[in-house]
Amino acid sequence: AIVSNTLLNNLAEYLSNYRMLNDYISVETAQVIDLALEVSVVLDASQNQGAVISSIINKVSDYFNPAIRQLGQNVNISEINRIIQSENGVLSLTDLKVFNKVGGQYSSSETSMAYSDPATKQIGPVDNTIFALPNQIYQVRFPNKDITVKVKNFQTVSIS
């Protein structure tokens, strides 16, 4: 969304009444960057697959909750891996792909990270991190649509 200069100037003027003498106020627009995640897991066949998938989606969605995320906060892939791996019924996390969703129902903002696949806008993390510029914030706009979980079941094998 485009924010008018008038609004930015009015906000800076209002905030200037509450600043210390040596403080400088600069008001800028933030970039909201929409992400989609594709998670591949191996589940214990004895668990309720639907419940485990639903729980994974909820916990990953909580990680991206805009109420607790901050501008400039990086996305730590290892942390998301840990959240998914700790879910009851998940035997292993085999793959995690992150995509930048742009246009249509999504923001027009794009990540400053390089794409490992420009056609799908798959983001190539660096050191297991998706970095954010100081004016960027990452979110998953539609968790039930944008967090997909691919499942393989692990059957118990008895060897005699």
Report the range of poorest mean pLDDT among 29-33, 96-100, 101-105, 142-146.
29-33
CA atoms of 78 and 30, how far apart (whole Å): 26
Sign of the C-alpha dihedral computed for residues 45, 47, 51 and 54 taken in this order? negative
Both tokens of 58, joined, read 């909820």
In this predicted structure, the answer to whether residue 154 has a pLDDT above a threshold of 80 is no
* pLDDT tens-digit series, residues 68-89: 999 999 999 999 999 999 999 9
Residue percentage of the chain with pLDDT more than 90: 72
Segment 117-145, tens digit of pLDDT: 999 999 999 999 999 999 999 999 999 99
Residue 33, beta-bridge partner list: 138
- Cα→Cα distances 80→43, 129, 147, Å: 17, 10, 12
